[in-house]
Chains A and B, each alone.
Chain A
Amino acid sequence: MKYPARYFDGKSARPQQVQVEVTRQGLNIHLEDDQQVVFWEQESIREVMANSSSVNRIHHRDGALLEVEDPDFLKTIRITFPEQAGQSIADRLSAMKWQTMVSIVVIVGVAVFLLAWTVIPWMGEQAAGYVPQSYEEDLGESIYEAMLPGMEVDSQRTELLEQMVSRADFKSGYPLRFVVVKDEQKNAFALPGGRIVVYSGILEVMNDHAELMGLLSHEVSHVNHRHSLRAIFRQLSTYLFVSLIFNDLSAVSSIVVDQAQQLQSLSYSRELEKEADLEGLELMIHNRFDPMGMPDLFKNMLEKEDEFTGSIPEFLSTHPVSTERIDYLKKEIKRSNYQVADHAELDEAWEKLKSLP
């Protein structure tokens, strides 16, 4: 069967009326003016531009071009040369019905969304384990330096605090450094690498040294278990993934900066908080401090929250305390075998610290 066609030979733009014949080996193009036949072998077909409603165009790899209107021709070559005349996945999707297209998009979209909120953050957290400690310390130090201008260090209280912690063993591989900052906020936070910042406001809530040690043990556990790095990596990996998807890598650098600044208000996940609580409790027992200091502190905080509604202690916004949390701490204390030693020096230092104006 021969199909009428328009033929451009790839040498000039002059159209020629021809007849095309499809064979297993390729296309025979019968030129009308002189009885010549041009042969296109199957492999030399570069592209088939299908258009069922008007002209189908078949491009030869050397530039020549055939225009055939007969829709049967397209069917014939699709069967005869499936490789050349076939469609890519994208072509096939584009040719789909709307309903099929939408359902595929929704299914894959949901899968990608789940990936972004579960697997990716988990991978990020795993990656945090491979960061060398020295880098973690450098990072913490540079964040601390960036924050310093905005903080007023309380050197007297810091000295007393350092004195107190020197009597404790926090089983940390990090160079722990404690600092008290003059600030009304009832808050404290740990930077990666061992810096722990305590706001003077939170000291006012405490009744004895055990509560202070409860707070410090909790924060030290955040440091020991790289919680801030893990939390940053968790969030960062999601951001990175999302910006990769939307091809917007420039956003990533600004997010890194953003994160560094928001480390003060970085909130940990429930599991990380629980881990810090339980590990902190162990440190308390190890040092023979009264482990009840920790749940007592949390209880004080909660009461403060009730007392002045509208001004929640900042510590609570980053370390959400619930009665459930106090309960499991008490339960854990009941289960464990602990001894409380007499810490006369600590009491003395604590009294001094409290009495400072």
Chain B
Amino acid sequence: MEKRSYSLRYTGNGGDFFKIWFVNAFIQVITLGLYYPWAKVANLKYLYSQTEWEGSPFQFLGTGRELFIGFIKAILLVGALYGAFFYLAFLQMPIYAFLVFLTGFALLIPLALHGTFKYRMSRTSWRGIRAGYRGDRGELFKLFITGFFLTIVTLGIYGAWFVNDLRTYIIGNLRLGNSTFQFKGKGTDFFLVNFLGYLLTLVSLGIYFFWWQKDLFEFFVNNLKMKYGDQELSFKSKATGGGFFNLIFINLLLIIFTLGLATPWVVTRTMEFVTSNIEPTGDVDFDALIQTEGSYTDATGEDMADIFDLDIAF
């Protein structure tokens, strides 16, 4: 098949999203946060349904009930960790308390990561075909613990390789039906992008920050591949530093001057920016995708990631 480009669009608008977002945030407030899982589902459903690939939108299949059960489990897990910490602190053993807390965190984060991807992917579908994450919990664990350790030992320098390894592993295990994904970015490149970005941002008194973001976006997007048999789909970033400046600066102003009420417009601008700055080309025949992934309804990981405020970007 001939190489061609594909369409990726965000069709939502701020006003529609605001109504959904606001009503759900409001119910969440008057139920003292108990409505949070349902609010999250409502927001995700809207965002997914407005993101179109080849003219067909994605669908979020998750339910408030699943997220609520996961939320309770996650609270119990995190609560047990905090409980152990305070108990040891109470027994005047601050060093043990600290160690237990740190180890607990180091163990719970990969668990949250694994759970998030497993749940979120299985609850994502396109034209009725489910996505999936086939990573192995043990392997992610090993990857995480080694990387975590090396990052501490090297005073953070290894962090770039650590995060890149995690990303490569996770993306390498993502699927949409019987198609697979691949991330080809190198840890060294990721390090250099961040190192130079950081230095130049300092030197330029912050101005380079937007170009740093552009470089990062390029690194993520350009190294992403989708494979279907011997067919391949690549992505190319069209984003510019000026574009990032426009996105981030205006978003910041919107949030500050509306005390957060403009969040739906900020999300809309961001989604539009991301989708319109990714150029997919390749020869994958999407009509030929076949359902291969099962359902996975345990949302504990996803909720745990929310509790930890882990920012998991897709």
| A interface residues (Cβ-Cβ under 8 A, vs B) | 8-15, 46, 49, 57, 59-60, 63-65, 89-90, 93-95, 101, 105, 108, 112, 241, 244-247
Asked if B99 is at the interface (CB within 8 A of a chain A CB), the reply is no
Bound form: Cα–Cα A116–B104 in Å: 36
> Which residues of the partner chain A approach B36 to less than 8 Å between Cβ atoms?
247
Asked whether, in the complex, the Cβ of B49 is within 8 Å of the Cβ of A12, the reply is no
Pick out which of these stretches binds chain A: B25-33, B156-164, B243-251: B25-33
Contact partner, B288, options A13, A89, A105, Cβ 8 Å: A13
> Which 3 pairs between the two chains have the least Cβ-Cβ distance?
A13-B289, A8-B128, A65-B128
Asked whether, in the complex, the Cβ of A90 is within 8 Å of the Cβ of B38, the reply is yes
With both chains docked as a complex, state the minimum distance between the C-beta of A47 and any C-beta of chain B, in angstroms: 8
Interface contacts beyond A11-B290, A247-B28: sample of 18 additional A-B pairs, CB < 8 Å, sorted by A: A8-B127, A10-B128, A12-B287, A12-B289, A12-B290, A13-B126, A13-B290, A49-B49, A57-B57, A57-B59, A63-B125, A90-B38, A94-B19, A112-B30, A244-B32, A245-B29, A246-B29, A247-B33
Asked whether, in the complex, the Cβ of A63 is within 8 Å of the Cβ of B29, the reply is no
Bound form: Cα–Cα A59–B48 in Å: 14
With both chains docked as a complex, state the minimum distance between the C-beta of B48 and any C-beta of chain A, in angstroms: 10
Closest to B19 in A: A94
Tell whether A63 pairs with B289 under 8 Å between CB atoms, given A94-B19, A94-B20, A247-B33: no
With both chains docked as a complex, state the minimum distance between the C-beta of B98 and any C-beta of chain A, in angstroms: 17
Which residue among B49, B59, B286, B290 has the maximum number of chain A CB atoms within 10 Å of its CB?
B59
Closest to B290 in A: A12
> Which residues of the partner chain A approach B39 to less than 8 Å between Cβ atoms?
90
Asked whether, in the complex, the Cβ of A108 is within 8 Å of the Cβ of B30, the reply is yes
Asked if B291 is at the interface (CB within 8 A of a chain A CB), the reply is yes
Bound form: Cα–Cα A9–B126 in Å: 12
Asked whether, in the complex, the Cβ of B23 is within 8 Å of the Cβ of A94, the reply is yes
> Which residues of the partner chain B approach A241 to less than 8 Å between Cβ atoms?
32
Bound form: Cα–Cα A294–B136 in Å: 76
Asked if B267 is at the interface (CB within 8 A of a chain A CB), the reply is no
| 24 pairs of residues in contact across A and B, judged by CB atoms under 8 Å | A10-B128, A10-B129, A12-B287, A12-B291, A13-B177, A13-B286, A15-B127, A49-B59, A59-B128, A60-B128, A63-B125, A63-B291, A65-B127, A65-B128, A90-B20, A90-B27, A90-B38, A93-B27, A94-B20, A95-B19, A101-B23, A112-B29, A247-B28, A247-B36
Bound form: Cα–Cα A57–B60 in Å: 13
Which residue among A10, A13, A57, A63 has the maximum number of chain B CB atoms within 10 Å of its CB?
A13
> Which residues of the partner chain B approach A108 to less than 8 Å between Cβ atoms?
26, 30
Number of interface residues of B (CB under 8 A): 34
Asked whether, in the complex, the Cβ of A101 is within 8 Å of the Cβ of B125, the reply is no
Asked if B42 is at the interface (CB within 8 A of a chain A CB), the reply is yes
Asked if B130 is at the interface (CB within 8 A of a chain A CB), the reply is yes
Asked if B281 is at the interface (CB within 8 A of a chain A CB), the reply is no
> Which residues of the partner chain B approach A9 to less than 8 Å between Cβ atoms?
128
Asked if B173 is at the interface (CB within 8 A of a chain A CB), the reply is no
Asked if B24 is at the interface (CB within 8 A of a chain A CB), the reply is yes
Bound form: Cα–Cα A164–B286 in Å: 93
> Which residues of the partner chain A approach B59 to less than 8 Å between Cβ atoms?
49, 57, 59, 65
With both chains docked as a complex, state the minimum distance between the C-beta of A100 and any C-beta of chain B, in angstroms: 11
Asked whether, in the complex, the Cβ of A13 is within 8 Å of the Cβ of B19, the reply is no
> Which residues of the partner chain A approach B38 to less than 8 Å between Cβ atoms?
90
With both chains docked as a complex, state the minimum distance between the C-beta of A107 and any C-beta of chain B, in angstroms: 11
> Which residues of the partner chain B approach A60 to less than 8 Å between Cβ atoms?
128
With both chains docked as a complex, state the minimum distance between the C-beta of A89 and any C-beta of chain B, in angstroms: 8
> Which residues of the partner chain B approach A90 to less than 8 Å between Cβ atoms?
20, 23-24, 27, 38-39, 42
B residues 61-77 with Cβ under 8 Å of A?
61
> Which residues of the partner chain B approach A65 to less than 8 Å between Cβ atoms?
59, 127-128
Asked whether, in the complex, the Cβ of B29 is within 8 Å of the Cβ of A15, the reply is no
Asked whether, in the complex, the Cβ of B288 is within 8 Å of the Cβ of A12, the reply is yes
With both chains docked as a complex, state the minimum distance between the C-beta of A1 and any C-beta of chain B, in angstroms: 25
Asked whether, in the complex, the Cβ of A15 is within 8 Å of the Cβ of B287, the reply is yes
Asked whether, in the complex, the Cβ of A13 is within 8 Å of the Cβ of B29, the reply is no
Asked whether, in the complex, the Cβ of B42 is within 8 Å of the Cβ of A101, the reply is no
Residue-wise, chain B 203-227 has the 8 Å CB interface mask toward A (1 for contact) of: 0000000000000000000000000
Which residue among A8, A15, A57, A94 has the maximum number of chain B CB atoms within 10 Å of its CB?
A94
Bound form: Cα–Cα A207–B290 in Å: 95
With both chains docked as a complex, state the minimum distance between the C-beta of A276 and any C-beta of chain B, in angstroms: 34
Tell whether A245 pairs with B32 under 8 Å between CB atoms, given A13-B288, A63-B129: yes
With both chains docked as a complex, state the minimum distance between the C-beta of B226 and any C-beta of chain A, in angstroms: 13
Bound form: Cα–Cα A64–B59 in Å: 12
> Which residues of the partner chain B approach A247 to less than 8 Å between Cβ atoms?
28, 33, 36
Closest to B34 in A: A244
> Which residues of the partner chain B approach A105 to less than 8 Å between Cβ atoms?
26
Which residue among A8, A59, A60, A105 has the maximum number of chain B CB atoms within 10 Å of its CB?
A8
Bound form: Cα–Cα A171–B5 in Å: 88
With both chains docked as a complex, state the minimum distance between the C-beta of B87 and any C-beta of chain A, in angstroms: 16
